[in-house]
């Protein structure tokens, strides 16, 4: 007997999502539930409060509890280590040992999601959700729970109201997305690139995420009748860093813009303040990725790139790049973004410095570490990837697929499926799980 009632289907989806999350570590389902309940009530109280001070208090409650949980689980040890280091620097001996804390998978994603909900209600941009089931599903929806994108309540909750009917044809298109996402993750990232990356950086921590693996999440949602927004749009064809951040991790960059950059004043208070706001936003954006100075420096690099770009735009106000200009600007963007990514991926600051020194030729007696095979794999995939990104720069996958002949679609689809089957990728973690 099929489940026809929409509420029953959503309940089943919610239970499935909790089981999915609990399969990693059952105890952390309680944490997810706690976060859901706090924001459910905080939102109701914000909406129901008559005094502005009360609204502010309930918003603070949501912010403190969400960021408190995130701070403890994700940044607890980082703060402890740095305070300990500072104390040691000031001549005080501390014997603080790192706490044994397991980082709940996807905590940064669902924390930012639920925060956007309470902040939007506080601002009056959104009415609180009437159904706890819909809200819990918004927080827990399994395709995007552990690796994003950061979906806004305003984008998701309305989809829970009307029952969805998915045709077999639409579901098959969803499968296409899932195949593409899996192929990029299992074959391109894990098989072709992760080994080389591990070799260069000297540690195994997740895999490369140059590809928009969120495509898989979009496909799975499609099959269930829900829509998720794009998170990446061919970022390696970006021309400049404003363009880059409109294409790279879009759900995070728009979140930071709406809930951090604009509240800080955005570009409304003069040049110096705009630059400071940009830098603060990007540093916090970097820190969101992980409890390490590498991520902070990565964020600061992007802040610097964006500020530099603003200055260049002022200096060359009337300059409109031709094809050669776009090529040079695009190449510069790619190289700078990739170099910053090396800091992001390095296990710690000394390694990052070492890699930068090697990149710039300061290790004249260094040895070659990459083998011919490793170079071949990286050149093949990165060359193809950049070519695809440039070709698709002004387009969308959907437009391309509409025009593509059926034989081409079938060939690509079969090859991708076969690649996934023979890959035997093993249990490589996805780097964004740790966020």
Partner 1 sequence: MLSSIFNSSIVERLYPEKNWKVLFFISICICSLMTLGWELYWRKQGYEPSLNDNKDLWALNRERLDKNPKLTTVIGSSRILFGLNLNEWKKEFGEKPLQLSTVASNVTVYLHHLAHDSNFSGTLIMGVDPYLFFAPSGAPMDIPTGNIEYYKKFSWAQRWSHHIGIPLDKNLAFLEQDDLPLKNLLERLPLPLRKNVKEAPPIPPYFVSVDADRQGLMIKKVETDPAFRAHMIAIWKKYFTPPPLPKGVTEQEFMKQNAEHVGSTLKKVAESIKKIQDRGGKVIMVRYPSTGHVRQMEATYTPRQQFWNRIITETHANMSVHFEDFETLKNFQCPEESHLNGEDAVLFTKELIKILKEKGL
372 near partner 1, judged by CB under 8 A: yes
Residues 6+ apart with CB under 8 A from 85: none
Q: Which of 265, 193, 270, 160 is nearest to 431 (CA)?
A: 193
| Secondary structure (DSSP) of 120-167 | HHHHTSSPPPS-HHHHHHHHH-HHHHTT-----HHHHHHHHHS-----
CA dist., res. 421 & res. 233, Å (int): 27
- Residues in 39-68 at the binding interface with partner 1, rule: CB under 8 A: none
Q: Which one, 215 or 283, has the nearer CB to partner 1?
A: 215
Report which of 250, 10, 39 is spatially closest to residue 137, judged by C-alpha positions: 10
Judged by CB under 8 A, the stretch of 240-248, 255-263, 342-350, 371-379 that binds partner 1 is 371-379
Of the pair 146, 355, the CB lying nearest partner 1 is at 146
Q: Work out whether 6 is an interface residue with partner 1 (CB under 8 A).
A: no
Q: Is 100 in the site for partner 1 (CB under 8 A)?
A: no
Q: Exactly one of 249, 289, 302, 389 is catalytic; which is it?
A: 289
Burial (CB < 10 A; 0-12, 13-18, 19+), residue 262, is middle
Q: How far is the CB of 213 from partner 1 (least distance, A)?
A: 17
Contact by Cβ (8 Å): 229, 144: no
| 3 sits near partner 1 (criterion: CB under 8 A) | no
CA dist., res. 247 & res. 149, Å (int): 13
Site string for partner 1, 157-176 (x = CB under 8 A): -xx--x-x---xxxxxx-xx
Give the tokens for residue 288: 């969101």
Question: Which residue in the set 258, 260, 417, 433 belongs to the binding site for partner 1 (CB under 8 A)?
Answer: 417
Max Cα separation, the chain?
Answer: 71
Please tell me the total number of residues recorded for the chain in this structure: 435
Provide, rounded to whole angstroms, the least separation between the CB of residue 98 and partner 1.
Answer: 17
The answer to whether 289 is a known catalytic residue is yes
Of 149 and 330, CB closest to partner 1: 149
Structure tokens at 257: 């813009």
373 binds partner 1 (CB under 8 A): yes
Minimum Å gap between C-beta 212 and partner 1 is: 14
Among 3, 12, 15, 26, binds partner 1 (CB under 8 A): 26
Site membership for partner 1, residue 361 (CB under 8 A): no
Under rule CB under 8 A, residue 125 binds partner 1: no
Is the preceding omega at residue 416 within 30 degrees of 0, hence cis? Answer: no
Asked if residue 51 lies in contact with residue 67, where contact means CB atoms within 8 angstroms, the answer is no
Residue with token string 């970022």 = 235
Decide if 173 contacts 323 (C-beta within 8 A). Answer: no
CB of 368 to partner 1, least distance (A): 5
Residues 229-258 that bind partner 1 (CB under 8 A): 229
Nearest 10 degrees: Cα torsion 224, 22, 105, 147: -10
382 near partner 1 (CB under 8 A): no
Candidates 5-13, 269-277, 292-300, 392-400; binding stretch for partner 1 (CB under 8 A): 392-400
The residue count for binding partner 1 (CB under 8 A) is 61
Looking only at residues 170 through 209 of this chain, which bind partner 1 when binding is defined by CB under 8 A? 170-173, 175-176, 187, 190-192, 195
**In the complex, least distance from residue 388 CB atom to partner 1, rounded to whole angstroms:** 18
Cβ atoms of residues 212 and 182 within 8 Å: no
Task: Identify the residue among 16, 22, 76, 321 touching partner 1 (CB under 8 A).
Answer: 22
Query: Is residue 221 within 8 Å of 151, Cβ to Cβ?
Result: no
Q: Please state the closest distance from residue 378 (CB atom) to partner 1, in A.
A: 12
Q: Identify which of residues 63 and 397 has a Cβ nearer to partner 1 in the complex.
A: 397
Nearer to partner 1, 91 or 405 (CB): 405
Stretch that binds partner 1, among 132-140, 266-274, 342-350, 425-433 (CB under 8 A): 425-433
Distance CA 2, CA 19 (A): 20
b/e string for 272-302 if b means 16 or more Cβ within 10 A?
A: eebbbbbbbbbbbbbbbbbbbbbbbbbbbbb
The alpha carbons of the chain give a radius of gyration, in whole angstroms, of 23
Q: Which residues are catalytic?
A: 289
Chain residues that interact with partner 1, rule: CB under 8 A: 22-26, 154-156, 158-159, 162, 164, 168-173, 175-176, 187, 190-192, 195, 218, 222, 225, 227-229, 367-373, 375-377, 396, 398-399, 401-402, 406, 409-410, 413-414, 417-419, 421-427
């Amino acid at each position: 007997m099929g489940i026809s009632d929409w509420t029953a289907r959503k309940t089943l989806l919610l239970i499935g999502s909790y089981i999915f999350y609990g399969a990693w570590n059952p105890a952390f389902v309680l944490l997810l539930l706690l976060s859901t309940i706090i924001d459910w009530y905080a939102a109701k109280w914000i909406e129901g409060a008559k005094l502005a001070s009360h609204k502010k208090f309930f918003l603070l409650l949501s912010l403190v509890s969400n960021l408190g949980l995130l701070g403890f689980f994700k940044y607890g040890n980082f703060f402890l280590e740095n305070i300990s280091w500072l104390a040691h620097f000031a001549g005080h001996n501390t014997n603080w040992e790192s706490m044994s804390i397991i980082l709940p998978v996807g905590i940064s994603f669902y924390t930012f999601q639920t925060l956007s909900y309470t902040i939007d209600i506080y601002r009056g941009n959104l009415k609180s959700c009437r159904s706890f089931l819909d809200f819990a599903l918004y927080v827990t929806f399994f395709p995007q729970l552990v690796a994003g994108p950061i979906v806004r309540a305003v984008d998701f909750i309305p989809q829970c109201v009307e029952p969805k009917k998915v045709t077999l044809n639409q579901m098959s298109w969803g499968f296409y997305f899932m195949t593409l996402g899996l192929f990029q993750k299992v074959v391109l990232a894990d098989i072709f690139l992760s080994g080389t990356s591990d070799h260069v950086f000297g540690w195994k921590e997740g895999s490369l995420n140059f590809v928009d693996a969120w495509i898989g999440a979009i496909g799975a949602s499609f099959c269930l009748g829900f829509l998720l927004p794009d998170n990446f749009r061919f970022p390696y064809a970006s021309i400049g860093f404003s363009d880059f951040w409109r294409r790279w991790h879009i759900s995070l960059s728009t979140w930071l813009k709406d809930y951090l950059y604009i509240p800080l004043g955005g570009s409304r208070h003069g040049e110096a303040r705009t630059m400071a706001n940009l830098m603060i936003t990007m540093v916090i954006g970097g820190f969101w990725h992980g409890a390490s100075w590498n991520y902070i420096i990565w964020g600061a690099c992007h802040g610097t790139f964006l500020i530099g770009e603003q200055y260049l735009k002022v200096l060359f106000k009337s300059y409109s790049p031709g094809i050669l200009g776009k090529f040079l600007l695009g190449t510069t963007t790619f190289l700078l973004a990739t170099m910053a990514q090396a800091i992001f991926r390095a296990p710690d600051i000394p390694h990052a410095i070492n890699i930068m020194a090697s990149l710039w030729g300061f290790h004249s007696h260094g040895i070659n570490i990459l083998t011919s095979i490793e170079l071949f794999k990286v050149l093949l995939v990165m060359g193809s990837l950049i070519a695809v990104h440039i070709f698709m720069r002004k387009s969308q996958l959907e437009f391309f697929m509409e025009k593509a002949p059926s034989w081409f679609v079938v060939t690509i689809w079969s090859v991708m499926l076969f690649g996934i089957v023979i890959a035997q990728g093993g249990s490589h973690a996805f780097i964004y799980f740790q966020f």
